[in-house]
Amino acid sequence: MHGIRWATLCSIMKRKVSTDDLTLGMYVSELDRSWESAPFESPFELQGFTIQNVEELLKVQKLCRYVYIDPNLGVGAKRYLSNAHQFNSAISILQETAAAASLEEYYPEKEPVERELVRASEILDDTRRVYDQVLRDIESGNKIDASTVKNVVGSLVESVVRNASAASWLVRLKKRDETAYSHSISVCVLGLTLGRYLGFSRKQLNVLGMATLLQDIGKLSIPPYLLSKVERLDKRELELIKLHVNKSISVIRSMDQVSGDIITVTAAHHERFDGTGYPRGLSRSEINPLASIAGLVDTYEAMTANRPYRRAKTGFEALMELYDERDRAHPGGLIEQFIQCVGIFPVGGFVKLNTGEVAVVVQRNQVIQLKPRVMILTDPKGTKLPHPQSLDLSAQFVLPGRMSRMISQIVDPRDYHIDPRELFL
């Protein structure tokens, strides 16, 4: 399963930490010695534990020089990673500012994915209608109704806060094509998902949502043939493409009561960590932290979408490519947080089980990354099931003599004649 690259991505999910740097709330997944040699008693378990109190913290510090923590678990790990990595960008500053102002949020999952799917579907349909109306208003020269856009973004924010998987799954399954709508909605939902994971306030999430939804609206002024051109663009054509940033800013500025923060994020979402971006060639901490997020999720969505000149990458391939290029286009610390957010098996990704069945990932497992919730689409011979079966890989009832299902590899649905759009009714 992609050999070393698979192991590399798995290793991102844990961090070696000196026991002097441990804090309450961190989840210890491994020790610097075997579990059998550790004189721990309940509630310490072989698979790991959360440090609940000072007594437990002192016990670990007395026994071990270092441990491994899982950043996806526990409330203390994200703050440690933010300080330890220093991100070499303003993302850590944003988190520190949010925390100082008591804006950093912890968003528990309030709705199961099945229930949120219904509401998220309606919100996404509303978002498409609003986005289409914005396009029509721009083409006809009419004034854009900013309040309608704000309302639908606010609804998206609340959906992602309730359950981060529902909207993410739906934007994968409901793509009819690779139009501006498909990309913009996907970028918006993914940006909100990452912002939620990082603990940004609802105010910050709404700014990020508005910016990611509208940041490419200026492409409406770009000749369509340039956006679908298969051959390499020449210098003049590249400069024309780059103009869409200023066009997007002009559209947003024409809207009533739109925060200047939204313009700031939009203006910098194509700036790059190493200074190779546009339009101003900003680098590192010069780039607004929300713009760093907007640029990263925009890149990921572009990589995982079909283009006239190439086939879409799988989520795994895109994550590995981003990781390999860390601290170039995007800050390495943010990329690692992004990988921890979407998980080894991103929602909407297709996988093959050890039984031969093909499934789609419906919901991440925050505790056991390798065992998400999936929807089984085919039998072991590859025949499509008339009624897909939902299965939580971490909570299986296995009869004696039978093997537990587990993911064996990531696959492309087209290799199995599966159209993701058919999964949404």
The tens place of each residue's pLDDT in the chain, 425 residues long, gives 455 565 556 565 667 788 877 877 788 878 887 776 666 554 444 457 778 777 778 888 888 888 888 765 665 555 444 444 444 344 454 544 444 444 456 788 888 888 999 999 999 999 999 999 999 999 999 999 999 999 999 999 999 999 989 999 888 776 544 555 588 999 999 999 999 988 888 999 999 999 999 999 999 888 888 887 878 888 999 999 999 999 999 999 999 989 899 999 999 999 999 999 999 999 998 999 999 999 999 999 999 887 776 788 888 889 889 988 889 999 988 888 898 888 778 888 899 999 999 999 988 876 677 788 999 999 999 899 988 888 999 888 777 777 789 898 888 888 888 887 676 54
Q: Using the 8-state DSSP alphabet, how is residue 314 labeled? A: P
With 0-12 / 13-18 / 19 or more C-beta atoms within 10 angstroms meaning exposed / middle / buried, residue 283 is middle
Number of Cβ within a 10 Å radius of residue 177: 11
Q: Using the 8-state DSSP alphabet, how is residue 347 labeled? A: T
Angle at 89 between CA 85 and CA 91, to 5 degrees: 80
**Which part of the chain has CATH 1.10.3210.10?**
113-342
What is 171-210 written as a DSSP string? HHHT--SSSHHHHHHHHHHHHHHHHHHTT--HHHHHHHHH
Model confidence, pTM: 0.77
Query: Which residue from 369, 110, 60, 198 is spatially nearest to 52, judged by alpha carbons?
Result: 60
C-alpha span between 113 and 116 (Å, rounded): 5
CA distances from 362 to 269, 321, 404 (A): 29, 23, 19
303-320 in b/e form (b: 16+ CB < 10 A) is bbbeeeeeebbbbbbbbb
First and final CA of the chain: distance in angstroms?
32
List, edge to edge, every strand of the sheet that includes 373-378: 384-392, 373-378, 358-363, 350-353, 407-410
- Fold (CATH) for 113-342: Hypothetical protein af1432 (1.10.3210)
Q: Tokens standing for 388?
A: 């897909």
